[in-house]
């Protein structure tokens, strides 16, 4: 399947091309799409349920889901019920969508173009990073969980750019510094 980071990068590139061709400001478009992307991810994760994939470790919790034997990962054939990791990520994405809308409505006068998208680039990866701890089918590169590595880099980069954009400015017209 198409990975979410690659799909996101491709979507941003396509939006940039669209904005350039239509002579539109790019950052408000990014901000407008961020909550919709989070909502789309929340809905899309239910495809993992239909495909009986993206489940966590075996469990006895009441909301544990049955996975057919042919869809169980090697080493887990004797277990029947698993944590619904797809559901956890779906709920996280719904919360991220609500958070993005709330932040926009609450602080739109203080936000800069692209801030909502940057907050999405923090919110989604943080949830995905945490959920990777209970994912059974990890992708390993260089001895690391590659998905966690990518999510940590994206969240950190988003946070740094957001902080840099909102750093206190030095007022050149202020009083002189004491000697």
Residue 10 has pLDDT above 90, yes or no: no
Residue 13 has pLDDT above 60, yes or no: yes
CB contact set of 129 (below 8 Å; sequence gap of 6+): 148, 151, 152, 155
Helices (H), the chain: 4-22, 26-44, 46-50, 85-107, 115-131, 146-165
Confidence of residue 169 (pLDDT cuts 50, 70, 90): confident
Q: What is the pLDDT of residues 66-120, one digit of tens each?
A: 999 999 999 999 999 999 999 999 999 999 999 999 999 999 999 999 999 999 9
Q: At how many degrees (to 10) do helices 26-44 and 85-107 cross?
A: 150
Provide the 3-class DSSP secondary structure of residue 141. Answer: strand
pLDDT category at 2 given cuts 50, 70, 90 is: low
Residue 82 per-residue DSSP state:
E
pTM: 0.85
Burial of 157 (0-12, 13-18, 19+ CB in 10 A): middle
CA separation for the pair 103, 112 (Å, rounded): 12
What per-residue confidence (pLDDT) applies to 71?
A: 95
Average pLDDT over residues 42-62: 95
| Residues ≥6 apart with Cβ < 8 Å to 140 | 146
d(CA 73, CA 131): 18
Read off the pLDDT band of 1 (50, 70, 90): very low
Cβ neighbours around 23 below 10 Å, total: 6
Instruction: Let me know: does 155 contact 122? Beta carbons within 8 Å.
Output: yes
If you average pLDDT over every residue of the chain, what do you get?
Answer: 91
């Amino acid at each position: 399947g198409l990975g979410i980071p690659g799909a996101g990068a491709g979507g941003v590139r396509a939006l940039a091309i669209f904005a350039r061709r239509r002579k539109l400001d790019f950052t408000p478009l990014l901000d407008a799409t961020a909550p919709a992307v989070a909502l789309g991810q929340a809905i899309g994760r239910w495809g993992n349920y239909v495909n009986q994939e993206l489940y966590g470790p075996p469990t006895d919790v009441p909301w544990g889901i049955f996975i057919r034997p042919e869809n169980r990962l090697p080493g887990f054939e004797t277990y029947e019920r698993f944590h619904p990791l797809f559901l956890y990520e779906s709920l996280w994405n719904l919360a991220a969508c609500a958070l993005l809308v709330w932040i926009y409505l609450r602080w739109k006068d203080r936000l800069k173009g692209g801030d909502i998208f940057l907050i999405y680039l923090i919110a989604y990866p943080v949830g995905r990073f945490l959920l990777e701890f209970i994912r059974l089918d990890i992708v390993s590169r260089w001895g690391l969980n590659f998905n966690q590595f990518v999510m940590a880099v994206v969240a950190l980069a988003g946070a740094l750019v957001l902080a840099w954009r909102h750093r206190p400015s030095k007022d050149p017209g202020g009083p002189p510094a004491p000697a």
